[in-house]
Structure 1
Amino acid sequence: MGKKHAAASMANGTPNGTDRTSENSEQHQERLAIRSPRNLQNTASLEGLQTEEQRRVLDVIAQLRRCNLESTLSLPQLVVCGDQSAGKSSVLEALTEIPFPRNDNLCTRFATEIILRRAELESLTIKVIPDAKRSNAEQDIIRSFVETITDFKELPDIMDKAMEVMGIGADSARAFAKDVLSIEIEGPDRPQLTLVDLPGLIQNATAGVTEEDVEMVRNITESYISQPRTICLAVISCLNDYANQGIITRIRKHDPNGERTLGIITKPDRVEKGSGSEAAFIALARNEDIRFNLGWHVLRNRNFQESRSSFNERNMVEEDFFRKSNFRVLDQDNVGIDALRTRLSLLLFEHVKNEMPKLRSELDGRLSETTTQLGNMGVKRSEAKECREFLTNLSLDFHGICKAAISGHYEGTYFQPKTKDTFSPQSIDAIRRLRALVQMMNEKFAARFRTHGHFYWIETEETKSKPKPKINEDGLKADPDPTDSKSPFLKNMTPIILTEAKAIQWVKDALTRSRGRELSGTFNPLLVGELFWEQASKWSDLSIDHMEDMSHICSTFLNILLKEKCPKDLQPRLRSLVQDALKERDDSAYAELERLMADLREYPINYNHYYLSEVQKKRMEKEKLALQQAVKDASTETQHGEGEDARRTTHIDVEQLAKNFRKTMSGDGDMEQHSCAEILHSVIAIYKVLHKVFVQNITMQVVERHIVRGLENIFSPVTVNRMTDEEVEGIAAEPAAAKRHRAFLEDQVKKLGDGQRILKGVMRSTAA
C-alpha cells in the first residue's frame, strides 16, 4: 500500500487503511471485543516452563511495562541482536512459536517488540511506538495506528501498513526506522515474557542501503544492548567467521565481561562437516574462545525448503541434527530450542529477581528527583483561574514582605543576614532591610547637603571654629567621599571658600550689577533672593542625585524580592509590571521636585522667626563688637597719686564714643559697605532657614511620598484582583516549553508512582 492510500485511509478514520470504513463504530468495537482464539497459536511450550513464583516475578515487569516505564527506567528484557541474515527472526519465531512473515526480511527493518501477557481472552494487538525525536504531530499520527487481529495470517498485511505509517513503505526511500513495532499477544495460557528483535547490523552501505542507514541500525542496536538490565541474545551465524561479525564488537563494548550476554549460534547445519570452521564453532559453543558468563547455545532453524513445515516438524528435525552431527558432543542443555527455552526461563527469572531491589531503589530515586523537579516548577498555571490564584498567593507574600521592609519589621527569615558585608547600598542584606537603608541614606543626604549644599563657604566669627572643607591644589574645590553617590556630578561639589571680606565683595559686585533707582546707602531687597539662588544653586543636583539613589535602591529591593520569590519564567513579565509602576513613581517624584524647585526660584518668602532671630543675632554681635571698640577708643586713663595711694580713673568721652560707634556701624562712613554686610547677613540667615525646610521637603515630599511609601501596593492582591483574565494569563501563564515539560514530569511522576506501588506490593507479598 502506498503513502497516498495510507493517508486517504487515515482521513476516513482508520489510520491503517483497513476495510473497516464501511463498519459503524459499534460494530467495530464489538469486533475488537469478541476475539476468536482458534487461529492464534498458543505458547504452551513456554507456559509450561514457568513456575508460579516465576510467573509472579515476571508479572511485576509486565505491570511496570504497562506503566510505560521503559523510557524512564531500564527494565529487564531479552533482546535478540546480531548481524544481518544471522537468523535472529528465526530464533525469535522458534522461541515464541509465532509465524512471523519471512518475505523481504520485514522484521529486520525496525525493532520489533513481542510482549506475551496472561489475560482471560486471546488477542493480538499491533501498534507502533514512535521515535521520541519525531515531531509531536508525527507521533500523534503514529500512535493512532492500532490493529487487533484474530489470525496470524493477517500479520503480513498489518506489518505492511505499519511500515507505511513509519515512512518505510514500498514507495519510501528510507530503508529503516527508529520506531518500534509492538506486538502484544494476550491469552490465558500465555507466559509473562517480553522479547525484542533488532534490525541486523550492516557492515557496509549497498544498493538501497545508505551510510545513514548503517549508522541508524548501529544506533538502534546500541540503544538496547547498552541498557544495564538487558539480557543480550547475541546471534552468530555459522556461515561467517564469528570474528568478523559486528555484534561481537558491540557486545564487548557494552558488556565487556559477558555478564548479561548469552551467545546463540545458528545455521550449524550449513557449515561443512568435519571442517576447521565447524570445529571452531564447536569450541565457541563450549565457551572456549569468546567467553560469556551466560555461555553459548546452538540452534538449528528451518532452511528455505523447510519454511512451510510446522513448529513440531522443525523441532524434530533439530533434535535429529543434534543426535547425528558433530555438535552432538555439546552438552544437551546447550543445544536445541527446548533447552534454550528452559535456560531463558531460569535466566530471566534469576535476572529479574536479582535486579528487583536495585530497580526499586532506582525507581524511588528517580521518583524523588522527578517530584522535586516538578515541585520546583511551582504551581500549575494553565488556565486564567489557576493563574489568578497563583498571582494572588504570590502577591500576598510579596506585599507582606515589602510592607515589613518599609515599616522596619525584620522578624521574618527573609530579613536575616546572609553575609557579613558592611551595611551599605551595595549590600543585598542591607537592601532587604529597606527602612534602615532609607534612614541611613536620608541622613547621609542631610549631612552632604549641610556640608556641600552651599556654593560658597563663608568665613565668619561663627564658622571660624568649624573645620574648613577640604580643598584641591587650586585652593578652591575638593572631591567629597566618592562612595557617597555614583553621580559624576558629586565629583566637584566642595564649596568655594570665601573670607568675610571676599564675601562682602561678592555682595558688592552683585549690588553694583543690580542697582536701580535706590538712594545711596540703600539696596534693592530682591538682591537677597538673587544671592540666595546662587548660594543654593547646587540644591537641585544634590536632590536629583539623592532621589535617583533612592529610586535605584527601591528598584533593586523589588528585583531581589522577585528573584527570590517568583519562578524564573515569571520574573521578566512581573519585572516589566514593576518597572512600569516604578517609572510612574519616579515621574511623580521628578514632578514633585520640580514644584519644590519652582518655589525655590521665587523670591524668598519667610514667616519663620528663626530668620529674624539670626539677623538680629548677627546685628547684635556686630553692635557688641562695635560698641566694645568704640568704648575702648573713647576711653582715657588718668593716674592720681604715687605709691600705695596711686589710683587710676577712666574717662569715657561719650560724644567720641557715639561718633566711633556710628562710624564702625556704618563702615567707616561707607554706607555701601554697611549695606553689603547687612545683605550678606540676610543671605546667610535665609539660607539656614530654607536649607532645613528644603531637606525636610525632599526626604518627605519627594522620597517618602513618591518613592518609598506605597511600594508594597505595586504588586498586591488588590492589583491582581483588578487584572483581566487576559492580563493574568499574560503574566502568569507558563510558556509552551514549560507546559510540555510539566506534562512530561507529571506523566513521569504518575508512571513512577504506579511502578513504586507495584514494587512495594511485590516486596510485601514476598516478605509475607
Structure 2
Amino acid sequence: MGSINNLDNEAFQDERARGGTHHFIPEALSSLETFDHRRVLDIVSQLRKCGLNSVLSLPQIVVCGDQSAGKSSVLEALTEIPFPRKDNLCTRYPTEIILRQAKSDSLQIRVIPGPERSAEEQKSIKDFRESITSFEELPQVMAKATEVMGIDKENGDGGDTNHRHAFARDVLSVEIEGPNRPQLTVVDLPGIVQSQTKDTSQADVDMTIKITESYISQPRTICLAVISATNDYANQPILNKVRHFDPKGERTLGIITKPDRLHPGSETEDAFLRLAKNEDIYFTLGWHILKNRSYEDAEVSIQERNASESNFFRQSRFGTLPPEQIGIGSFTDRLSKMLFSHVQQALPRLHQELDEALEDISKELAVIGESRASPEECKIFLAQLALSFYEICKAAVNGHYEGDYFRYTGKGSSIQDLAVNRRLRAEIQLLNQEFAEDIRQKGHKYHIIGLGDVSPDTKQEDLESLDEEPLESERETKNKPPAILDPQKMQHRKAMKWVNDVVVRTRGRELLGNFNPLVIAELFREQSSRWSFFAKEHINKASDASRRFLERVLHDMAPRDIFNRLWPRILEDITRKRQHATDELGKIVKDSRSYVINYNHYYTDTIKKSRYERRKTHMEQCLAKATRHRKIPGSKTDQTYADIDLNHLLGLFSERIDPNMDDHSSEEVLDCLFAIYKVNQKVFIANVTIQVIERHILQGLEDIFCPLTVATISDADAVALASEPAATTKQRDFLTGRLAKLKQGREILREFTST
C-alpha cells in the first residue's frame, strides 16, 4: 500500500500509464494556487478549523441536487478523490472534503455527530477517527463510518427496518493536509428523495430535505445546484429549493450533468441549451455543463474522464456555448474566481458579525455570572450582584445619571420616557410636581367665586347661574371618587350661607358678631377633605415607579432564575415601604384635621390682604357712583372734568356696614378660612413630598438589596437564592465554548487584516 504522497510502485506505474500524477494535488484545482487565493481561503480554513462555523455562517461550496443527479461525480471531478460509488445508491450523509496546507501529509477521516444525537451517541461518534495512507483504503473506512452512523447501507435482509435509517445528519469529514494542498472546502449533500420506498421511510425523505435546506439557507454558501439532463428540469425540486433561499441567484451556480444522455437535435436538448444560456431559470452566477463518468466508465482515470468530456463537447451542440461554461477545466477556474470573490466580500461583514456575536455572548455570560455551586460561590455571586444593584439604585435616587445604564434614548420628558430610561429621581420629581398642581387646582372641595381670585367684573348672569348649581352633596357621586371630580363652583352668597350655617350650629357663649374658633377647623376639614385622595394616589404612583425601576434593574443584572427567586423578597420590601408611607400619610392627615394651629405670619397677611381688596373694590364702586363728569365752563370743546360728591361718597361707603351680625361674622370666617387653607395647603404638599415620599418611598431604596444584606443571610439561604440549575451550567459551558471560538476567530481575522 502506498503512502499519501507517493503511491506504491505498481500503483504509480499504473497511474502514469493513464496520465495520472503521483500525488494528491488535482490539476483541476491548480487555478486555486495563486498567492492571494491561498491567503484568503486559508483564513476561512483556519476559521473553520477553530469551530467558528458552528457559530457564524462561513463561506463554503455545497454540492446539492436530487437523488442520483450526479453530485458525487461532480465532487470527484473537482477534487480528483475517487469516492466509492454504486449506481443504485446515493450519498446517505453530508460529506465534507477539506483540503488544506500543512507541513506534513495526512489524511484524517472523522464523523461529526448531528445535533439530534444523544450525549452518549455523540461521544461514540466523536471517538471515530481514522487515518489512511492511500485512497485505496477509503471505501473500507467510509463503510466503517457508515456503520458508526447506524445506516443500513445494504438495506438489510428484508427484515424489520423500523429502526433503520437510510440517511443521517452526521457529517463525514475527510481532511487532507499536505505542504502542496490547495485551500478548499466542499460539501456533498445527500440527494433529495422524491418519495418513500420499502428501503426509504418518510422520515428519511424529510431528512434529505432538512439536510439540504440547513446548508443552502446559510447566506455565505455557494450552492452548486446539480440537475441531470436525463430528467425534465421542471421536475427536479432542487431548483425551487435554491431559488427559495437565494431568490436572486446571487450565490447559486446551476450545473447540468449527463448531457451525453440526450438525443442530439431533440426538443429536450434544445430546452437544456436554453437553460444553460440562462434564458429560462435565471441565476446571476449562470450555468455550467459537465459530462460525468457513467457507471461503465467508473474505472477510467481522471485524465481519461477529462479527455472523454472534451471530445464530447467538440462534437455536441453544447460545445457552441462559451468555453467558460463547459468542461471541468473552465468550471474549476470559474469556481475558483467565484469563491475567491465571494470570500473577499464576506470577510468584512464576517468580521463585524463576529464582533457583534462576541459582545452578545459576553453579555449573556455576564448575566449568568460565575459558577454557583457551593455556599461560598453563591455568596460571592450575590455580593457582586448586590453591589451593582446598590450602586445603580443609589445613583438613580440621587439623580446621578452619568453611567451608561442611564443613557437617555427618548425624545421628550414625559413620565413614560423617564421610566423607560431608568431616571427614577426625575420621574419622582415630575410626580411631585403633578401632585402639587393637583392639590392647588383640585384639592379644595368648593371653588368660591369672588374669594381671592375672582374680579368684580364677573358677569352677573354667570354668578346667577352658579347660584343655581347644587352642592356636591346633592350630586350623584356614588360611582365616582371625590378626587376625580372638579371642585364645585360656589357663588359668594351661597358660600356665605354655607359658612353661616356652620357658625350657627357651632355657636357657644361668644357675643353675637363673633364666632367660635372651632368653626374654622370644621370648615377647613370639609374644604380640604379631598387632599387624602390625591395623596394616596401620589403614594401609589411613586411606589409603582420605584417598583418598576427596581424590577427592571434586577431583570437587567440577574439571570432569570435568580430574578425569579430574589424578586419576591424585594417586592415584599417595596410593599412594606408603601405601607409605611400610607401610615405616615394617615398621621399627617389626622394632624391636619385636628384643631387648626398656625404660627405663620402669611396667615394674617392673607387676611389683611383679603379685607383690603374687599374695601378697595367697594370704594371703587362708591367712587364711580359719586362721580359726575361736567363740561368745562367756557370751553369750546367737549372736554369734561370729574366732579366728586364727597358727602354722597361717604354716604354710599357707610351704607356698606351691615347691621346683621351673622353676616359680619360669616365674612370674617370666610377670610380666615381662605387664609388658613392657603397656608396649610403649602404645608401639606411639603409634608407629603418630604415626610411620605422622600422618607418612606425613596430613602433606603438602595438598601433593599445591598452587600450588607447578603452578608447577613445564612449559607442555606444563599444556596437557595443563587445556586444555579443544571441548565444554567450547561448554558455557561455552551457560551464559554462559543466565546473561545469567537475570540480565536477574531485573532485570526485580526492577523489577516494586519497583514
TM-score by length of 2: 0.63
Measured against aligned partners, the alpha-carbon deviations of 1:169-218 in whole angstroms (never above 9, x if no partner) come to 96526543444333334455654332222212333443444556445434
- How well do the aligned residues superpose, as a CA RMSD in angstroms? 6.3
Match of 1:220 among 196, 211, 216: 211
Q: State the 1:593 CA deviation.
A: 3.5
In structure 1, the residue matched to 2:130 is: 148
CA contact (8 A) 1:554 1:708 kept: no
1:326-725 equivalences under 5 Å are: 329=315, 343=330, 346-371=333-358, 373-374=360-361, 379-383=366-370, 384=378, 385-386=380-381, 388-404=383-399, 433=426, 437=430, 440=433, 444=437, 447=440, 452=444, 472=466, 474-477=468-471, 488-491=482-485, 493-494=487-488, 498=494, 503-509=499-505, 529=518, 532-533=521-522, 535-537=524-526, 539-553=528-542, 555-556=544-545, 559=548, 567=556, 580-598=572-590, 604=595, 695=681, 698-709=684-695, 711-716=697-702, 719-724=705-710
On the 8 A contact 1:404/1:410 being kept in 2, the answer is no
Alignment check: 8 A CA contact 1:382 1:734 kept: no
CA distance in 1, matches of 2:471, 2:585: 27
Q: Is 729-738 or 227-236 further displaced after alignment?
A: 729-738
Counterpart of 1:60 (choices 37, 43, 54) is 43
Q: CA deviation at 1:358?
A: 0.7
Task: State the SS of the aligned residue for 1:263.
Answer: strand
**Aligned partners of 1:257, 1:728: CA distance in 2, in Å?**
58
Cα contact 2:112–2:172 (8 A) shared by 1: yes
Q: CA deviation at 1:156?
A: 0.8
| 2:398 counterpart letter in structure 1 | K
Structure 1 residue 493, shift from structure 2 partner: 4.0
- Whichever residue aligns with residue 548 of structure 1, its letter is E
Query: How far apart, in 1, do the equivalents of 2:550 and 2:75 lie?
Result: 62
Task: Provide the residue aligned with 1:8 in structure 2.
Answer: none
Residues 627-651 of structure 1: per-residue CA shift (max 9 Å, x gap)? xxxxxxxxxxxxxxxxxxxxxxxxx
Aligned to 2:748: 758
Per mean C-alpha deviation after superposition, the further-off stretch among 580-589 and 255-264 is: 255-264
Distance in 2 (CA, whole Å) between partners of 1:508 and 1:72 is 87
What is the one-letter code of the residue matched to 1:398?
C
C-alpha change, 1:745 and 1:395, in structure 2 (3 Å) is: same
- Aligned with residue 150 of structure 2, among 137, 141, 163: 163
Aligned amino acid, residue 110 of structure 2? I
Shift of 1:111: 1.9
**Structure 1 match to 2:109:** 125
* Residue in structure 1 matching 2:25, options 43, 46, 53: 46
Q: 1:391 to 1:539 in 2, by over 3 A?
A: same
Superposition deviation, residue 85 in structure 1: 2.6
**What is the rounded CA distance, in whole Å, between the counterparts of 1:369 and 1:412 in structure 2?**
18
Structure 1 unmatched ranges of 5 or more:
1-34, 480-485, 622-666
Determine the structure 2 residue equivalent to 1:182.
173
Q: Please give the per-residue CA displacement for 1:320-373, whole angstroms capped at 9, x wherever unaligned.
A: 8669x8666369999xxxx97755654444233323431222212323443554
Equivalent residue, structure 2, for 1:626 = none
Equivalent residue number for residue 5 of structure 1: none
Equivalent of 2:292, from 271, 274, 299?
Answer: 299
Please list the CA deviations of residues 439-479 of structure 1 after superposition, one character each: whole Å capped at 9, or x if unmatched. Answer: 64575466459x826x7979999999999998846344479
**Aligned counterpart for 1:113 among listed residues 65, 79, 96:** 96
The 1:373/1:202 distance shift into structure 2, 3 A limit, reads same
Give 1:62 shift: 1.7
Q: 1:347 to 1:472 in 2, by over 3 A?
A: same
Which deviates further from its counterpart, 391-400 or 412-421? 412-421
Q: What is the CA–CA distance in structure 1 between the aligned matches of 2:276 and 2:454, rounded to whole Å?
A: 106
Change in 2 beyond 3 A, CA 1:474/1:283: closer
Alpha-carbon offset, residue 678 of structure 1: 11
> Residues 261 and 293 of structure 1 are in contact (CA less than 8 Å); yes or no, is this contact kept in structure 2?
yes
Instruction: Output one character per residue of 1:499-529: Cα deviation in whole Å (capped at 9) or x when no partner.
Output: 6577445444456xxx9xx9xx999x99865
Q: Which runs of 5+ in 2 are unaligned?
A: 12-20, 371-377, 474-479, 613-657
Higher mean alpha-carbon deviation, 456-465 vs 749-758, is at: 456-465
Q: Indicate the percent of aligned positions where both proteins have the same amino acid.
A: 25
Higher alpha-carbon deviation: 700-709 or 102-111? 102-111
Distance across 1 between alignment mates of 2:403 and 2:356: 33
Looking at structure 1, the residues matched to 532 and 294 of structure 2 have their Cα atoms a distance apart, in angstroms, of 96
Compared CA separation, residues 756 and 47, structure 1 to 2 (3 A): farther
Amino acid corresponding to residue 593 of structure 1 in structure 2: L
- Contact persistence 1:79–1:225 (CA under 8 A): yes
Alpha-carbon distance between aligned partners in 1 of 2:4 and 2:405, rounded to the nearest angstrom: 69
Q: In 2, Cα distance between the equivalents of 1:754 and 1:52? A: 26
Residue identity in the other structure for 2:708: R
Q: 1:472 to 1:84 in 2, by over 3 A?
A: same
In the alignment, is the contact (CA less than 8 A) between 2:506 and 2:518 conserved in 1? no
Distance 1:583 1:494, change over 3 A: farther
- Please point out which of 197, 201, 216 is paired with 2:192: 201
Q: Deviations over 1:257-297 (max 9, x none)?
A: 798536363495xx59x876799499969967989856322
TM-score, normalised to structure 1, is 0.62
Is the alpha carbon distance of 1:585 and 1:537 closer, same or farther for their aligned partners in structure 2, counting shifts above 3 Å?
Answer: farther
Contact 2:62 2:221 in 1 (8 A): yes
Alpha-carbon distance in 2 for matches of 1:267, 1:598: 100
| Number of matched pairs | 641
- Helix, strand or coil: the match of 1:79? strand
